[in-house]
């Protein structure tokens, strides 16, 4: 995914609502996907990952969905909290020893 | 456990001055190492990656260079900074034979005036 040259889109949600952050990828050979969360002034932190042999994986308050048919990845955050406000990046790789390719990133803003 | 440190955390430099950002990884051997740049409000741009000592691959032509003098040390340098070099620089590492998951440092914010 292209990750430079464009300002990041913003998703604004009400505190307590569920958030859905979407990501499209283009490489049909990608078989590993990961979501990162980046708080202001900090490095990205791992949230959750999924391999291509799965279509859904759940963590604590987060769920990642993978639709390989349309090359679409989404991150669902349940009961969004102010601490969830951050930039979220999806990334993909084609497996062992390959570099991650990052998506554009989306800013999640949580309204109190 | 593995840790990654990069410094300095914040740097303000005049145009034309040199740059040296350092990154070290502890608790792992022979990691892949990466330098990313993030301009304000923008995504992550891969600048350099290294699979071993002295092995550097550059992703984009630029005013910067990278070196890996030791297995767990990665340095980002410039001889003469440009205004456009301002940004948030992130060092990261990954384990060979893994899926490529990256572990990021806390970043170094560079402002060129």
**Tens digit of each residue's pLDDT (9 = 90 or more) over B19-56:** 999 999 999 989 999 999 987 777 888 999 999 999 99
Q: Sheet containing B73-78: which strands, arranged edge to edge?
A: B3-7, B19-26, B73-78, B65-70
Widest distance between CA atoms in chain B: 42
Cβ of B107 and A41 within 8 Å?
yes
CA atoms within 13 A on the CB side of B72: 11
Q: What is the mean pLDDT of residues B79-108?
A: 88
Contact B19, B110 (CB under 8 A): yes
Categorise residue A85: left if φ over 0, alpha if ψ from -120 to 50, beta otherwise: beta
A44 interface with B at CB cutoff 8 Å: yes
The rounded Cα B90 to chain-centroid distance in angstroms is 5
Instruction: Look at residue A1 in the predicted model and tell me its pLDDT.
Output: 36
pLDDT at A101 over 70: yes
How distant is the Cα of A1 from the closest Cα of chain B, in angstroms? 10
* Cβ A2 vs Cβ A101: under 8 Å: no
Residue A106 exposed, middle or buried by CB count within 10 Å (0-12, 13-18, 19+): buried
Structure confidence by residue, pLDDT tens digits, A40-63: 989 999 999 999 999 999 999 999
Tokens in use for A62? 């987060």
Q: Which of A25, A43, A52, A95 would you mutate first to test chain B, the one with the most B CBs within 10 A?
A: A43
Q: Do B96 and A97 touch (CB under 8 A)?
A: yes
Predicted local distance difference test score (pLDDT) of residue B98: 58
């Amino acid at each position: 995914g292209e990750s430079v040259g464009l300002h990041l889109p913003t998703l604004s949600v009400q505190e307590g609502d569920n958030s859905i952050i979407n990501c499209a990828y283009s490489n049909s050979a990608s078989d590993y996907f990961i979501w990162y969360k980046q708080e202001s002034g900090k490095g990205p932190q791992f949230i959750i990952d999924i391999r291509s042999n799965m279509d859904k994986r759940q963590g604590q308050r987060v769920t990642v969905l993978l639709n390989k048919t349309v090359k679409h990845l989404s991150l669902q955050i349940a009961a969004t909290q102010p601490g969830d406000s951050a930039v979220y990046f999806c990334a993909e790789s084609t497996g062992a020893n390959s570099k991650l390719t990052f998506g554009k990133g989306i800013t999640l803003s949580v309204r109190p | 456990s593995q840790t990654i440190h990069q410094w300095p955390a914040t740097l303000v430099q005049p145009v034309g001055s040199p740059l040296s950002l350092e990154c070290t990884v502890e608790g792992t051997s022979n990691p892949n190492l990466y330098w990313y740049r993030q301009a304000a409000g923008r995504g992550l741009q891969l600048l350099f990656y290294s699979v071993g000592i002295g092995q550097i691959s550059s992703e984009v032509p630029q005013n910067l260079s990278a070196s890996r003098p030791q297995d767990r040390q990665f340095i980002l340098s410039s001889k003469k900074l440009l205004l456009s070099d301002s940004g948030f620089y992130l060092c990261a590492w990954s384990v060979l034979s893994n899926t490529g998951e990256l572990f990021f440092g806390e970043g170094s914010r560079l402002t060129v005036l």
